[in-house]
Amino acid sequence: MAGGLAVQGSPTQWVADHRRHHAFSDREGDPHSPWRYGQTVRGLAKGMVFAHLGWLFDRELTNRSRFAPDLLADRDIQLVDRLWLPVVSLLAPGLAGGLLSWSWHGVLTGLFWGGLVRIAMLHHVTWSINSVCHVIGQRPFRTRDSRDRAANFWPLAIASFGESWHNSHHADPTCARHGVLRGQVDISAGVIRLFERLGWARDVRWSQPDRLAARRTP
């Protein structure tokens, strides 16, 4: 539901796209690879735009039956899929601004800053994981396929809550922590750890020193 309020789309489609991305990372079949149009300067520039934003408007929808059959069979997830969470996320700040100020100025201010600007900033950070983090950054770990260009880009670590440690994520996709090296801030992992201690999350897979060592690049 939090993802829906962030206007990230339905959980089922989001998961299907993400699993497909990992299955074909930076190869034919990847829904948003910046290397789609080749390695020339022009091709990479076009690919960066596509990976950042263009894929949302010009793409074949990922087959949910193939990549997310477990979520299609989950009645709770399917209920969330049908909720109008993006509409709520956009209109609620405007409503709050109107009630707090009792004015149309408050409505418009809340709608603009709490709705449009918030959503735009969040999406550009998220899209940067698809575009920037597959072109620029460090690759301290080996991934399953040598064509996978996922990289760690530290300037986005705080804004992305740790998602920009993308090479680490692709090297060990089932690990709950992306920032696995010393000094790598990972806010998402901290939230997951808190949920685990509160009993809201279980069977969490954390990084293991031997698994990390096996994947380190020379």
Task: Look at residues 76, 87, 56 and name the one whose alpha carbon lies nearest to residue 12.
Answer: 76
- Predicted confidence at residue 212, as pLDDT, reads 87
Question: In this structure, are residues 104 and 24 in contact, taking their beta carbons and an 8 Å threshold?
Answer: no
Q: Which residue has the tokens 């290397």?
A: 35
Task: Work out the pLDDT band at 59, boundaries 50, 70, 90.
Answer: low
Q: What is the mean pLDDT of residues 137-144?
A: 94
Task: Work out the pLDDT band at 65, boundaries 50, 70, 90.
Answer: very high
Distance CA 19, CA 4 (A): 18
Q: Which residues are bridge partners to 152 per DSSP?
A: 138, 165
- Predicted confidence at residue 43, as pLDDT, reads 94
Q: For 156-212, how does the pLDDT look when each residue is reduced to its tens digit (9 = 90+)?
A: 999 999 999 999 999 999 999 999 999 999 999 999 999 999 999 999 999 888 888
Q: For 69-123, how does the pLDDT look when each residue is reduced to its tens digit (9 = 90+)?
A: 999 999 999 999 999 898 999 899 999 999 999 999 999 999 999 999 999 999 9
Q: For 18-31, how does the pLDDT look when each residue is reduced to its tens digit (9 = 90+)?
A: 999 999 999 999 99
pLDDT(58) > 80: no
Average pLDDT value for the chain: 93
Distance CA 188, CA 208 (A): 18
H or E segment to which residue 169 belongs: helix 166-171
- Predicted confidence at residue 15, as pLDDT, reads 95
